[in-house]
Structure 1
Amino acid sequence: MPVPRHTLTETLNDLLQPAQFKDYGPNGLQVEGRAEVHKLVTGVTASRALIEAAIAEGADAILVHHGLFWRGQDGRVTGWMKQRLALLLQHDINLFAYHLPLDAHPELGNNAQLARHLGIAVYSDARGRFGEQTLGFMGERPSASAAALAAHVSERLGRSVTLVAEPDRPIRRVALCTGGAQGYFESAIAAGADVFITGEISEPQAHYARECGVAYIACGHHASERYGAPAVGAHVAAGLGLAHVFIDIDNPA
């Protein structure tokens, strides 16, 4: 049986609680499509490639982490924006996007799912969260060395990673925050981490890692955020009786 669009919207909002976050763009329904939903496609970014794949799957709705609209962007509908919107509107597909709320969910979010994928046991008490809006997660995964942990992350994510560390230093306390969260490194250091795992690294973090003795692993923005959207999609689809497909559009970043 189809699910009304407003029911899917309410279910996602109840689960992810977007009103609790100060974010960089609108969370929730970004593009309105047909009123009834049979099939939900999830992905990381609302790229044209994902939209085209969702059309081929016969989707009525798409759920992503990176939507179309961001604070401070050019508001004109030209170029890539026009192309993406035209496809969504032509095929009457609903687009849902949740940015920080999808990072932060304690069980289904990007951070929680990446920790689970990497075998990190997140602390269940106050030690388990750190940083602005408590988006960072902290837990334990003992490793003989930073180099060994980096190799494990690389193997689990299927891509090379960047490691800045004393390679032989043992690791126990692991802090992580997916995507472009290099700005959380100092908070991770203050929280007592032995290593910080995120998607990207900028120039200052290499110096902080060397000077503070805390290892830094950058594993790719996209690679670190592949797990939240399908987890949320599968959970919501099971509860509402929807068909669900996760489509991973490769991205080297």
Structure 2
Amino acid sequence: MQEAKGTALVTGASAGIGAVYAERLARRGHDVILAARDTARLTALAERLRTTHGVGAEIVTADLTRDADVAALEARLAQDPAITLLVNNAGITLKGGLLDNDAEAITRLIALNVTAPTRLATAAARAFSARKAGAIVNIASVLAVAPELFEGAYSGTKAYLLNLSLALAAQLAESGVRVQAVLPGATRTEIWEKSGASADALPPEWVMEADVLVDAALLGLDRGEVVTIPPLADEGLWQAYDGARRALAPHLSRREVAPRYRS
């Protein structure tokens, strides 16, 4: 049996990236709390993890667009000292473009992709920093830095998660709490079919399998990376992008407008 490593809370754990995270973390010796809407899938996954890896596996049926369900997980993070890792994975995209969707669909997108992970990350950060240990993983997207490639509301939610992660990592740097943003590219999961698209329509060399993605992301977490981009071969490209962004910071707030805006 693996050495106990505390409990990992994984949202969106019934399929795709979340289910792979649950399996990999159980393999590493974590007990797991699996949160998603599909009780039957969660139950089957939890039983498999108990049998295969000998870990504790609890399921929480939750719709994270509902305030009460988010609040229940917030309370669990605040009150359960066994939880050492949060994986904010649950997310959706729109079916079609922004202009093809009504207010309800857009509100649901923001609730699941922005509001819920923000609340859960905040609850985890408070609990973990008090104990000076723990890790928060936010599943963002490469679209966070390439918004023109896809529908803007979805990519905007992923840019938000990247910003949240960067700010939390800086805030918690001396606390012993790690924060990681994972930026997948196109990954073979059910989100494609749910959005009315297909990963098979993309060039095969663009589409990563979920298990390959998660293995790379966990290696990045082990290495202490704040931002992990599994498909990016040239790390220098990210470093140049991030360096340029940081170089802007000292110049962004001034009493007077820049000379180029003076009439």
Give the TM-score, by structure 1 length.
0.31
Higher relative contact order (CA 8 A, sep 6+): 1
Larger % of helix: which? 2
